Structure formats: C-alpha cells, structure tokens
Amino acid sequence: MKLFLFHFLAIALSNFAFCFLGLGLFLLLQTEVLVRIFTM
C-alpha cells in the first residue's frame, strides 16, 4: 500500500513538473512575442 502511494505521488509530481515546465515555456514564448511586437 505504501509503495502504491509512493508510486502515485511520483506520477503526480512528474505530471505537475511537466505542466509547470510547459506553462513556463508558454509564458516565455508569449513575452518574447509581446517584446517583438512592442519593439517593431
């Protein structure tokens, strides 16, 4: 049971890290686009 819980926690953490990374890249891309628009 403890092992199952640990496995579930590991999956949840990896999913959270992946989502966070994706969101960070998306925000970085958005700011880059905005900067390019403003500097034109």
Encode pLDDT of 1-40 as tens digits.
788 899 999 999 999 999 999 999 999 999 999 999 999 8
Per-residue tokens: 2: 């403890």
Handedness of CA 6, 7, 13, 17 (dihedral sign): positive
Per-residue tokens: 28: 């970085």
Query: What local confidence, expressed as pLDDT, does residue 25 receive?
Result: 96
pTM for the model stands at 0.57
Side chain identity at residue 37, one-letter code: I
**Cα–Cα distance, 15 to 26 (Å, whole number):** 16
**Cα–Cα distance, 19 to 27 (Å, whole number):** 12
